[in-house]
Amino acid sequence: MNKSLADMRRDYTRDGLSETSAPEEPFALFRQWFQEAVQAEQAPVEPNAMTLATVDEQGRPHCRVLLLKALDERGFTFFTNYDSDKGAQLAHSPFAAMTFFWPGLERQVRIEGQVEKVSAEESDAYFHVRPLGSRLGAWASPQSRVIRDRAELERLLAETEQRFLEQAPHCPPHWGGYRLVPERMEFWQGRPSRLHDRLDYRLTAGSWVRQRLAP
């Protein structure tokens, strides 16, 4: 088992990332790479899936996969349950990090910064474009809490369906978006012999400063 893991290796030969072709600011590069990932990545890969890391009150890190649902000049938005474990961690410490991995393109993007809640209007607008089942699920599931078994979840869902028989479910107060406002964004392009390209953008006195990092 260990031997076969040790033998697993792939050389990255697809592309390069150079200071001459990369934009001066990172949002443009993220948009370009994201578009390319949408075109290149084959199902079942979800190009908007990323890993979000948060820290708890003891300084212990936690990470989990989430879906990026909006991107604009303010930052990177995902939606979740505000009462979940990640919600509690973000209420305690707004510092968070996100990682995207697009294996078909041999690319990784790392984003670090602070998280803020999006406005209730933004959460509401997104909630209402979700399928009915997902809207009911947001009401029914006490995300991150212990439940007895699958039957308990199904009972919670049945109760929620009864509650919203006559009216469409509105956005729950415990559900909504968070926006990661980046202070640092790093673009990694795999290259042969582990000599990868890494361009690191840091927000410094209001402007993005770009530097190359050793792989």
Ligand X SMILES: Cc1cc2nc3c(=O)[nH]c(=O)nc-3n(C[C@H](O)[C@H](O)[C@H](O)COP(=O)(O)O)c2cc1C
Pick the catalytic residue: 191, 194, 202, 210?
194
Q: What residue type is 55 in one-letter code?
A: V
**Region binding ligand X by CB under 6 A among candidate stretches 34-42, 81-89, 93-101, 119-127:** 81-89
- Establish if 153 lies at the interface with ligand X (CB under 6 A): no
Give the separation between CA 37 and CA 108, rounded to whole angstroms.
11
User: According to CB under 6 A, which one of 62, 74, 145, 170 is a site residue for ligand X?
Assistant: 62
How many CB atoms neighbour CB 209 within 10 A?
Answer: 11
Choose, by CB under 6 A, the member of 65, 158, 209, 213 that binds ligand X: 65
Q: Does 143 bind ligand X (CB under 6 A)?
A: yes
| Residue 144 found at the interface with ligand X (CB under 6 A) | yes
Q: Which residues contact 82 (CB under 8 A, 6 or more apart)?
A: 117, 174, 175, 176
Lookup: tokens for 40 = 């290149």
Q: How far is the CB of 58 from ligand X (least distance, A)?
A: 15
- Is residue 202 annotated as part of the catalytic site, yes or no? no
Alpha carbon 173 to chain centroid, angstroms: 22
31 to each of 70, 152, 172, how far by Cα in Å? 11, 42, 31
Kindly list the residues in this chain that would bind ligand X in the complex (CB under 6 A).
46, 49, 62, 64-67, 78-81, 84-86, 143-144
- Cite the active site residues: 194
